[in-house]
Amino acid sequence: MKHFTKLFLLMVIALVLLAGCTGEKTTTGSASATNGGSKSSASTLEKAKEKGILVVASSNDVPFAYIDKDTKKFTGIDAEIITEIAKRLGIPKVEMKEVKFENLLLELNNNRVDMVTDGMYIKPERQKIANFTNIWYSEGEALVVLKDSPIKGLDDLKDKTVGGQKGTAFLEFAQKLQKEGKIKDVKVFNSQSELLLAVNTKKIDATITDSAVAGYSITNDKTLNLKLVSPYKAEAAGNIGAAVRKSDKDLLEAVNKELDKLKEEGFVLKVLKKYGLNEDNFVPAGK
C-alpha cells in the first residue's frame, strides 16, 4: 500500500511538472515568435527613424569619425556626412560606437550597429561580407617622417623601419614593399596615435599612413615634430564609403540618394576642405 501510494504521488508530481514545463515553453515560444516577427517586420532604416537614432561604428580615428575631446560631439569627415544624411532621412541623432578598426564589419554583421562610417576603403574582400554605399570621397597614403629626416620618398626606405596600422590598406601596402625588398622592416601598431608617436620618438624611421589622418594630426598637435613628405604621389589611393549589412538594401538606397544630393549641393566638398582635403579627393555624384 505504501509502495502504491508513493508511486501514485510520484506520478502526480511528474504530471504537474510536465504541465508546468509545457506551459513555460509555449509562453516563451509565443514571446519569441512575437519578438521575432516584430524584428523582421521593421527594417534597420525604419527602426532608426522610429528611435530617432542611427548607430554607427568607428575606431575613433581623427579626422574621419571620432568623439571630440572638448565638445564630446561626434565629429569628422565621415561623421559630418552621415549626420547630415541621417538628418535628411528624418533621423535627428547619430550615435557612435567605438570599435577596433579590424572588427568594424564584424560588429556590423553581429547587428550591434546600423552602419560603419570610418574612412573605410571599398575593397572586394570587404564587399563579400557587407554592402558599400556609393563613393564618399577618394584618399591615399602619405609618407610621414621627422621634420629633419633625410627621407625624401619610398626609394629611401630600403634600410629603414616603417610602421603601419593594423587592419588598414596602408599596412598592407607597407608589407608589400617589404616583400619587394624596398623596406627593411615593418612594425604594426593598433592606432594612428601610436603610429605617429612612434615616429616622433624615433622608435621607427617613418610611417606609411592615411594622408588625411596624418595631415590633420600634425597640424593640430604641436607636440608632433613631423611632416608629410612632399612632393609625394600616392600609390595606394582608394575610394572610401560607408558599409551596411547585405540585408539592409533600403538603408543603402536611401543613403546613396541623399549622398548624391549632398555632392551636387557642394556639401561634401566643403566638408573635405574643412579637414584639409581638396578637389583631388572629391568624387562626383552617381559613383
Domain covering 44-138+238-281 assigned CATH 3.40.50.970 in the classification: no
Would you say residue 131 has pLDDT above 90?
yes
Q: How many CB atoms lie within 10 A of CB 172?
A: 15
Map out the domains of the chain as residue ranges.
Answer: 44-138+238-281, 141-228
Considering only 110-114, 221-225, 280-284, which range has the smallest mean pLDDT? 280-284
pTM for this structure? 0.66
Would you say residue 23 has pLDDT above 80?
no
- 262 DSSP 8-state letter: H
Residue 139 pLDDT class (50, 70, 90 cuts): confident
* CA geometry: angle 285, 231, 169, nearest 5 deg: 55
Residue 40, pLDDT score: 53
Would you say residue 261 has pLDDT above 50?
yes
Residue 12, pLDDT score: 43
Would you say residue 248 has pLDDT above 90?
yes
User: Which element (helix H / strand E) includes 74?
Assistant: strand 74-75
Residue 234 pLDDT class (50, 70, 90 cuts): confident
Who has greater pLDDT, 47 or 192? 47
Residue 233 pLDDT class (50, 70, 90 cuts): confident
Average pLDDT in the chain: 86
Would you say residue 211 has pLDDT above 50?
yes
Cβ neighbours for 223, distance < 8 A, ≥ 6 positions apart: 200
State percent of the chain over pLDDT 90.
68
**DSSP-H helix ranges across 221-280:** 249-264, 267-274
CA distance 74 to 245: 22
* CA geometry: angle 262, 217, 238, nearest 5 deg: 50
Q: Are 65 and 58 in contact (CB under 8 A)?
A: yes
Q: Are 158 and 164 in contact (CB under 8 A)?
A: no
Residue 3 pLDDT class (50, 70, 90 cuts): very low
Residue 25, pLDDT score: 34
Q: How far, CA to CA in Å, does 121 sit from each of 56, 112, 115, 218? A: 16, 21, 14, 22
Fold topology of 141-228: D-Maltodextrin-Binding Protein; domain 2 (3.40.190)
Would you say residue 8 has pLDDT above 50?
no
Considering only 78-87, 220-229, 258-267, which range has the smallest mean pLDDT? 220-229
CA distance 278 to 145: 23
User: How do 185-189 and 74-75 pair as beta strands?
Assistant: unpaired
Would you say residue 18 has pLDDT above 80?
no
Q: How far, CA to CA in Å, does 94 sit from each of 53, 54, 81, 137, 149? A: 6, 5, 11, 20, 42
Three cell numbers, residue 178: 617589404
State percent of the chain over pLDDT 70.
86
Residue 19 pLDDT class (50, 70, 90 cuts): very low
* CA geometry: angle 245, 250, 256, nearest 5 deg: 90
173-200 confidence digits (pLDDT tens):
999 999 999 999 999 999 989 999 999 9
Domains 44-138+238-281 and 141-228 share a fold: yes
57-108 confidence digits (pLDDT tens):
999 988 999 999 999 999 999 999 999 999 999 999 999 999 999 999 999 9
Name the burial class of residue 193, with classes exposed (0-12), middle (13-18) and buried (19+) by CB atoms within 10 angstroms of its CB.
middle
Would you say residue 7 has pLDDT above 60?
no
Residue 217, pLDDT score: 87
